[in-house]
Each structure stands twice: as C-alpha cells, then as structure tokens.
Structure 1
C-alpha cells in the first residue's frame, strides 16, 4: 500500500478531495511553530508593561518581529476598548419628550435594543416600573432604557393603557405591553419584569425560569390544600 504521507502527485489529489488527511508536519516544524508563538506572546506581554511614551522612545530600535508584536498588542487593546464601550453604553434610564422620540427610539442605531416606558405621574404602577427600570438599566447597560410621559409622545393617550412598555430593535417595534393587567398589578417584582423583557429579546437574563410561574405554582398548591376533601363512598350512599 502506498505511504499516505509520501510526497506524490496522487496523494496531493487525494488530500484535496478529502480522502486522505492533511500531511503530518515533521515534529521539528511543529516545535518551531510553537516556539515562535510562545516567543511572540512573550514579546507582546513585555509591551503590556510599557507606557505609550516608552513604546515611542523605543520605536526606532524595533525590528520586524517587534513591529508585528506591537501591532498585535495594539489590535488587542482596540478590541478590548470597543468591547467595553459596547457593553457599557447606557446603564441608566433616560427621559425623553415627543420631539426626541424618533431620534432616541427609531434611530437609536444598529444592534441597539430600546425599551420605552410610557407613564404618568400619580399612577403607582408606573412609579414602580420606573424603579424597576433603574435596576434593570444598571444590570443590562447594553440595552437602552427610556421613559416618557405618555401624552408628550402620543397625544390623548388614555390613562387606562398605562403603564405601557414598547420594545424596539434597530427602530422596529418587537413587543408591546399595554395596561396594568399585563404586568400583574402592584405585586410586580423586578425579576418578573426582567423575564418579561427577556422574552422579547431585549435583554439576556440569567434567570433560569419564569419567577411568576413559581408564584402561580405555590398559589395553586395553596388552593388545593384548602379545598375540602370529598369522600366518594359517602356521596354514593346519599344517593
């Protein structure tokens, strides 16, 4: 049988077709590549402890390998900075007016989720949701949390529809929650609101299941425990 590692035209064709695995590199080449990776990583590591001024002072002494290492370090730092900026863009609840609606909501930007709460002063459930929004905005700073007095955004918006929460992604509405019944009244907990918003896709929750379901399960268990037990045999005798 022909050696699959032999340098033959036939073996090259079989490798291209995926019939033969790629030719194994000699151990010396693998060790040489590993040494280069380790050496480059150590060079990058050495630059992490240098200030920008020190890098500029030593720039004239850089060889080709140094320049590659510095470029790797620069790209790494840029990627880390961009990730931190994206992750912590918001972090608090912004208040907007009707004039700002289009700019802040519809034109929020690519990849941006916006959660808007329409509220009115003097409605307790609205005040509660605003409190929960503050907590969730800190927990999910990559999502844009906003609030606005209802009638400043939508003329003559009925109070019976409050609280109202709209969820947008890249300017398109993805979900809406309208009226007190949707939120479960003043018993609404922050983790219940978190779950509801996570179902719309606006935030990525670490909750494993709907906390409201736990409350409902406990309520049903309590109801079953308080119901009178009917003796079937006694009922049949009564007939």
Structure 2
C-alpha cells in the first residue's frame, strides 16, 4: 500500500479531494511558524523596555514570554559576537592621504581611531610606531593607523613630528603634536597607553599615570641625596 504521507502527485490530489488528511509534517511546520511569530511579537513588546522595567515585570512572564525573551537574548548575543569579530583590528595599518576618508571618517560606529603621522629617520617616530604595534595587539577594538606625514598632509612640518591624532565618528577627539608632548626617547609603551586612554581611545587597566610614578621616584631620589640641615651643621663644626 502506498504511504499516504509520501510526496507524490497522486497523494497531493487525494489530499485536495479530502480523501487523505493533510501531512503531519506540514501541520508541525505551521505550528512552529505560528509559535515563532508569537515569540517575535512578544520580543517586540519587551525589547523597548529598559532593564529595570523587565525586572519589575519578571513575575508576570508566562512560559511563552520566557521563551521569547531567551530567543531575543540569543539574537542579541549573536549580533554582539558578530560585531566583535567584525571590529577586531590588532595591527597598525599604513595608509595614504587617499585612504583617509575611508579609514578615518568611515571607520564605523563607535570605532576609536588612532593615527600616527611620522617620517622615516626620526627616532622618536620609530619608537612610537613600535609602541603602537604592541598596543594594537593589546587593544584590538581600537583602529591604529600610521601614515608618512607629507603623504597624508602635504607640506606638514617635520618639527611637528611625531603627531598622533585620535578620532571617533570622524571627529578629532585629541591631538598630540611634537616631541615634547611625548617626553622624548624615554617614552615607554605604558606611558603612551595612559596618554591614549585619557583621550578615550582605549580602556586601560593602569590605575595611574606611569610617568607620574617615574617623577615621584626621581623626586624621592633627589630628596634622599640632598644634605639635611643637621648634616650641614655637623660639617660646619668640623
């Protein structure tokens, strides 16, 4: 005997005539689709609520509500993971002036951009590029760029190098221009990290400015090496 659930033209004719019942799988698919639509409707109701409002109404949630909210949570989690993967950089990218609009102005929503203008043969520029490479690996959500100064900005003066610009949504949020701002060749990677964190370009775990620690140690060393009044009096007595 022929299977009544089998997909054949003859069975389709018999179903249309009412001789065979509808396929069970089709009924199941309809129920699943209807349930999905109900869940999506519930999601639209709750996704406009704040976290506090959701917590206040939590006791009133039905099983369908709980299922819908869990579905919504999974959707948002998947979206967040996709954005995280999309917005990972992890290296310092070399650009030219032609790339500026695409790489800086159109970097993307909520993307912080750090652009270093440099020139070959300037030691401090080389040092900052090295530090930025390590920071790019440490903070992959921040977009790190570098460009030869005159390639990016024609006739940009060498006395302003190194220069670091910080952007977000295409707007400049901070600028660091000239060697004095960076403290010369004694600049450490964590000091540059702190400087960029103050502009908002990255979220550091450093609790205070490392350069301040160096200054405090230097002042302590100077105070310890200075003769006290008592030492000076004893020297006079001799």
Q: Using structure 1 for the length normalisation, give the TM-score.
A: 0.66
- 1:35-184 map, 5 Å: 60=29, 67=36, 68=39, 75-88=72-85, 89=87, 90-184=89-183
Secondary structure of the residue aligned to 2:229 is: coil
The one-character-per-residue Cα deviations of 1:140-175 (angstroms, maximum 9, x if unpaired) are: 222111110001011121222111000111111111
Tell me the CA shift for residue 234 of structure 1.
4.2
Tell me the CA shift for residue 180 of structure 1.
1.2
CA separation of 1:127 and 1:110: change in aligned 2, threshold 3 A = same
Q: Distance in 1 between matches of 2:165 and 2:95?
A: 14
Q: Is the 8 A contact 1:116 1:166 kept in 2?
A: yes
Tell me the CA shift for residue 108 of structure 1.
2.0
Tell me the CA shift for residue 60 of structure 1.
2.9
Tell me the CA shift for residue 199 of structure 1.
0.3
CA separation of 1:76 and 1:161: change in aligned 2, threshold 3 A = same
Q: Is the 8 A contact 1:86 1:142 kept in 2?
A: no
Secondary structure of the residue aligned to 1:173 is: strand
Q: Distance in 1 between matches of 2:130 and 2:111?
A: 22
- Segments of structure 1 that go 5 or more residues without pairing to the other structure are 1-58
Partner of 1:206: 205
Q: Distance in 1 between matches of 2:220 and 2:232?
A: 25
Partner of 1:4: none
Tell me the CA shift for residue 83 of structure 1.
1.9
How many aligned positions are there?
182
CA separation of 1:144 and 1:231: change in aligned 2, threshold 3 A = same
Secondary structure of the residue aligned to 1:118 is: strand
Tell me the CA shift for residue 73 of structure 1.
5.8
The one-character-per-residue Cα deviations of 1:61-100 (angstroms, maximum 9, x if unpaired) are: 8658974488656544432233234334122211110111
The one-character-per-residue Cα deviations of 1:102-151 (angstroms, maximum 9, x if unpaired) are: 22112323222111000111112111111111111122222111110001
Q: Is the 8 A contact 1:87 1:141 kept in 2?
A: no
Q: Distance in 2 between matches of 1:93 and 1:233?
A: 56
Q: Is the 8 A contact 1:115 1:202 kept in 2?
A: yes
Q: Using structure 2 for the length normalisation, give the TM-score.
A: 0.66
Q: Distance in 2 between matches of 1:100 and 1:195?
A: 28
